[in-house]
């Protein structure tokens, strides 16, 4: 009976997929894969399931309603996180992924009903993970950039002693910058070459949303307006190095706490081992007594 229900569920799902694909006029898998591969900057290999989810999400964008303020905010976050999706598609993608997990409740009701609460909680967790993925990606990108800013401030201090050309300084530093900061510097350089230097630096500050980067941007804008800037960046580099040391100390202090739980687990295993031996010996002793 279980095998019949499983076969029916698989065949029914396949039939519904083919019917919906024909009615919704979904593009072929090869076509979608080629389009997404061209659009992706990292040129990673597209997965068939991800393609199908994006196709369904594109169809659901018409019923996704977002307030203007939330839409502008989400556009900014997606652009900064380098996610090439519209806000409606991004939200619909989260709904589709959670919906696919919820659909597995149907066969679980017939095969193993005890899994229904687990599937429900998994769907909720996947929804929140997907809806917060852009914020998480932006947070990780901001952290990578902030970790590099002490070195960047030190380089600016030395470069400003010899040159006042902010554009050439950024082009020189770009060669040795980390991936996240290098990408932002490339965008800023292109922006500076096509428009105002101050506007390009201001847009760099707005894209990342880091208070530490804002201090560096303000110093560079001051240099463009005629300030010396060397003393400013010397003091800023000193403060950033102090913050970096404090951050490293905080990370080092957290390491023993992470290892402590494994120590307790090992201690528990040793205790259980001794208790098991004692229990066996007691049972053997009771057997000889009675």
pLDDT tens per residue across span 165-178: 888 888 888 888 88
Q: What is the pLDDT at residue 241?
A: 85
The mean of the pLDDT values for the chain is 78
Tokens found for residue 206: 């707005």
Residue 42: which pLDDT band, with cuts at 50, 70 and 90? very low
Host domain of residue 64:
47-131
Whether the Cβ atoms of residue 35 and residue 43 lie closer than 8 Å to each other: no
Query: Does any domain span residue 140?
Result: no
SS3 state at 159: helix
SS3 state at 233: helix
Weakest mean pLDDT among 29-38, 47-56, 211-220: 29-38
Q: Express each pLDDT in 127-146 by its tens digit.
A: 888 888 888 888 888 888 88
CB count in 10 Å sphere of residue 192: 20
Say whether pLDDT at 157 is over 50. Answer: yes
Query: Does any domain span residue 152?
Result: yes
Residues 183 and 226 in one domain: yes
Residues 239 and 158 in one domain: yes
Domain end call among 131, 157, 178: 131
Residues 153 and 234 in one domain: yes
Residues 158 and 226 in one domain: yes
The better pLDDT of the pair 105, 28 is held by 105
What does the pLDDT average to over 44-55? 66
Question: Which residue, 200, 212, 214, 83, is CA-closest to 138?
Answer: 83
Whether the Cβ atoms of residue 13 and residue 122 lie closer than 8 Å to each other: no
Residues 99 and 179 in one domain: no
Query: Does any domain span residue 3?
Result: no
Residue 12: which pLDDT band, with cuts at 50, 70 and 90? low
Residues 187 and 123 in one domain: no
Query: Does any domain span residue 277?
Result: no
Total of domains in the chain: 2
Residue 15: which pLDDT band, with cuts at 50, 70 and 90? low
Q: What is the pLDDT at residue 40?
A: 47
Question: How far is Cα 22 from Cα 83, in angstroms, rounded to an integer?
Answer: 29
Residues 167 and 106 in one domain: no
Q: What is the pLDDT at residue 57?
A: 80
Distance of CA 284 to CAs 181, 270, 276, Å?
A: 69, 21, 12
Residue 50: which pLDDT band, with cuts at 50, 70 and 90? confident
Residue identified by tokens 């970096």 is 244
Residues 83 and 155 in one domain: no
Domain end call among 219, 243, 267: 243
Concatenating the DSSP letter of every residue in 61-117 gives GGG----HHHHHHHHHHHHHTT----HHHHHHHHHHHHHHHHHTHHHHHHH-GGGHH
Residues 52 and 107 in one domain: yes
Whether the Cβ atoms of residue 144 and residue 180 lie closer than 8 Å to each other: yes
Residue 41: which pLDDT band, with cuts at 50, 70 and 90? very low
The answer to whether the Cα torsion of 170, 174, 178, 179 is positive or negative is positive
Q: Express each pLDDT in 59-114 by its tens digit.
A: 888 888 888 888 888 888 888 777 888 888 888 888 888 888 888 787 777 777 77
Query: Does any domain span residue 185?
Result: yes
Query: Does any domain span residue 7?
Result: no
Query: Does any domain span residue 159?
Result: yes
Question: How far is Cα 9 from Cα 186, in angstroms, rounded to an integer?
Answer: 51
Query: Does any domain span residue 94?
Result: yes
SS3 state at 43: coil
Q: Express each pLDDT in 179-197 by its tens digit.
A: 888 888 888 888 888 888 8
- Per DSSP, 290 falls in state -
Residues 183 and 121 in one domain: no
Contacts of 102 (CB under 8 A, 6+ apart): 119, 120, 123
Residues 96 and 171 in one domain: no
Residue 38: which pLDDT band, with cuts at 50, 70 and 90? very low
Domain end call among 102, 131, 160: 131
């Amino acid at each position: 009976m279980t095998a019949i229900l499983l076969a029916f569920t698989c065949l029914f799902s396949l039939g519904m997929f083919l019917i919906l694909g024909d009615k919704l006029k979904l593009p072929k898998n090869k076509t979608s894969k080629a389009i997404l591969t061209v659009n992706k900057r990292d040129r990673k290999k597209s997965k068939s399931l991800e393609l199908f989810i994006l196709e369904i999400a594109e169809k659901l964008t018409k019923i996704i309603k977002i307030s203007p303020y939330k839409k502008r905010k989400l556009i900014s976050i997606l652009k900064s996180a380098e996610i090439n999706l519209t806000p409606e598609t991004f939200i619909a993608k989260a709904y589709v992924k959670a919906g696919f997990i919820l659909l597995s409740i149907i066969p679980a009701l017939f095969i193993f009903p005890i899994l229904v609460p687990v599937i429900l909680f998994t769907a909720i967790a996947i929804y929140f993970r997907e809806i917060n993925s852009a914020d998480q990606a932006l947070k990780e990108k901001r952290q990578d950039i902030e970790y590099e800013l002490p070195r960047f401030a030190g380089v600016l201090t030395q470069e400003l002693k010899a040159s006042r050309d902010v554009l050439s300084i950024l082009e020189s530093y770009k060669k040795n910058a980390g991936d996240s900061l290098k990408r932002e510097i490339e965008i800023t350089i292109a922006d500076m070459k096509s428009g105002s230097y101050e506007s390009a630096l201001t847009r760099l500050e707005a894209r990342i949303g880091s208070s530490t980067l804002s201090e560096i941007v303000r110093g560079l804008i001051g240099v463009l307006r005629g300030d010396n800037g060397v003393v400013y960046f010397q003091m800023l580099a000193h403060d950033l190095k102090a913050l970096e040391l404090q951050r490293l100390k905080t990370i080092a202090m957290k390491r023993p706490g992470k290892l402590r739980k494994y120590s307790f687990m090992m201690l528990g295993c040793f205790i259980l081992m001794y208790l098991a031996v004692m229990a066996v010996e007691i049972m053997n002793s009771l057997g000889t007594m009675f």
